[in-house]
Amino acid sequence: MNFNIKKVFSIVMMIVYIFSFVACSPLQTEEYNDSDITQINESEESLKDLENHLNKASGTSNLSNAEIDEKGYYTSKAEVALFIHTYNKLPRNYITKKDAGSMGWEASEGNLWEVTDKMSIGGDRFGNREGKLPKKSGREYFECDINYEGGFRGPERLVYSNDGLIYYTKDHYDSFELLYKEE
């Protein structure tokens, strides 16, 4: 899938590159009105939106530790993983299942955003019962939802350890991708 995203992005960028030569001919003396300029601005915004969408879909980001605010709200794979790596805790928009339940959350109703201030589930212990993640004496794993946008919880999670490991699972624990390893 990552290959397809890169391929689409490359094709879009080639088209933009080709059109930049055609549209910038020195012999061109046409006048542009406000609607033409608006159309150009909308096209540029569409390209930025496409790039952001492709980055989000591939989980890539140009974030650095300095760009992750400790008081910020984050839900994407890249942002939450960097936040955990930087601050050794979840962003403030995460709440445990127990705390959400005490506020009236019912998983079977998909009502988390209705009973909280648009929070996501996270911070609960992950048992690693299937043994798919590395075991080490004293290591504990925790989990949090990723890309949650209200309603019922999706399959995406980060699973992170108390000693610096951070994994991403897009398929509710069937497979794991290592994002950060212990230092």
Q: Do the beta carbons of residue 89 and residue 101 sit within 8 Å?
A: no
Beta strand 177-180 pairing with 166-169: antiparallel
H or E, element range at 45 = helix 34-58
Burial class from Cβ neighbours inside 10 Å (0-12, 13-18, 19+) for residue 95 reads: buried
Beta strand 157-161 pairing with 166-169: antiparallel
- How many other CB atoms are found less than 10 A from the CB of residue 168? 21
Which of these is catalytic: 70, 172, 177, 182?
Answer: 172
Burial class from Cβ neighbours inside 10 Å (0-12, 13-18, 19+) for residue 105 reads: buried
Q: Return the closest-CA partner of residue 114 out of 122, 102, 124, 103.
A: 103
Which of these is catalytic: 143, 177, 182, 183?
Answer: 143
Catalytic site residue 53?
Answer: no
Catalytic site residue 172?
Answer: yes
Known catalytic residues are 143, 172
